[in-house]
Amino acid sequence: MRIILRLCEWEKGGVRNKDNREINIHTNKVGHLVPQVIASGAEEFRMLVDHVHAMGYNEVDLNMGCPFPMMANHGKGSGMLVSPDKVKEVLAVMQEMPDICFSVKMRLGWQNANEWKSVLPLLNESRVSQIVLHPRIGKQQYKGEVDKKGFADFYAECEKPLVYNGDLCTLNDVDEVMNAWPNLRGVMIGRGLLANPALAAEIREGKCLTQSELYAKVAEMHRSIYLQYARIIEGGEAQLVAKLKTMWEYLLPDMDKKRRKAIQKSNKLDYYLRAVDEALAMN
């Protein structure tokens, strides 16, 4: 399983300390971590790849899918898809780096769903080893339906190993995608895994957990995260609770609304932990 971690853009002459900590090869416990870079052009891309390579990585993923305007409006993420010439220049940099394996994560376009048609031929002729496609345009962000017709058209013309990404929340969602496009290399799950942390295991094993099994697993995971945060967060109880509560933005969306509200309203650690215990013990 490849874990792709987004590395932010080149800022103020270098990479942020936070990003460097996250990809430190000596302290990161992720088994197969692939740093992801986001750049507006060839020179920024080159600097980021050189930096990541110097930290010990031989795989890099290029983000051409980020839908957020603060990135895309500067020609980064999905904003690069409107400029095939810039894409071509970035791919030329890859050609100069034979020791590094490159992959790309992208959307159908930034402004319209046909922009990929000018980019895919370039990717097909490049050193890119894999493409992950999220079949929306950047301006949609995560709204509306995924464009399965657009994905099918891309799939038909793609000569690289292709991975599907987008709105994969259940085992059935994954099965439908793999049955529709049997030559896919695989799928990438994102927010679906935040909602159901057991989703990857369910895909691997081909069966869903019962709700009680899932809640027990989440309780175990939550305790592990809590203990880790308690060791490293220095801002006191309020900051610890605020940090823990962020995971509930996506986690277990079908949970009883009253139980979820109790978690979200908790502002003291003992109240928060009690609310979590009660919510996860219901089943």
Angle at CA of residue 144, ends 138 and 148, nearest 5°: 80
Mean pLDDT confidence for 260-265: 96
Instruction: Evaluate whether 102 touches 62 at the Cβ level (below 8 Å).
Output: yes
Mean pLDDT confidence for 13-37: 81
* CA 76 – CA 8 distance, rounded (Å): 11
**pLDDT, mean over the chain:** 93
Superfamily of domain 3-167: Aldolase class I (3.20.20.70)
Return the pLDDT at 3. 59
Instruction: Evaluate whether 37 touches 49 at the Cβ level (below 8 Å).
Output: yes
Residue 9 pLDDT exceeds 60: no
Mean pLDDT confidence for 35-45: 94
Residue 182 pLDDT exceeds 70: yes
* CA 30 – CA 127 distance, rounded (Å): 26
pLDDT in tens, 143-170: 999 999 999 999 999 999 999 999 999 9
The residue extents of the domains of the chain are 3-167, 211-280
- For residue 256, give both structure tokens: 């009883």
Q: Would you place residue 4 in the very low, low, confident or very high pLDDT band (cuts 50, 70, 90)?
A: low
Return the pLDDT at 18. 77
Mean pLDDT confidence for 48-63: 94
Q: Which of 185, 134, 196 is nearest to 161 (CA)?
A: 185
Q: Would you place residue 7 in the very low, low, confident or very high pLDDT band (cuts 50, 70, 90)?
A: low
DSSP structure class, residue 67: -
pLDDT in tens, 94-107: 999 999 999 999 99
Return the pLDDT at 175. 97
Return the pLDDT at 268. 96
Return the pLDDT at 11. 66
DSSP structure class, residue 109: E
* CA 4 – CA 87 distance, rounded (Å): 21
DSSP structure class, residue 209: P
pLDDT in tens, 184-239: 999 999 999 999 999 999 999 999 999 999 999 999 999 999 999 999 998 899 99
Q: Which residues contact 42 (CB under 8 A, 6 or more apart)?
A: 86, 89, 90, 92, 93
In whole angstroms, how far apart are CA 97 and each of 44, 50, 58, 242, 255?
Answer: 15, 9, 10, 43, 48
**Chain-centre distance of CA 209, in angstroms?**
23
Residue 72 pLDDT exceeds 80: yes
Of 11-15, 28-32, 56-60, 270-274, the one with minimum mean pLDDT is: 11-15
Q: Would you place residue 21 in the very low, low, confident or very high pLDDT band (cuts 50, 70, 90)?
A: confident
In whole angstroms, how far apart are CA 33 and each of 36, 40, 61, 274?
Answer: 9, 23, 10, 34
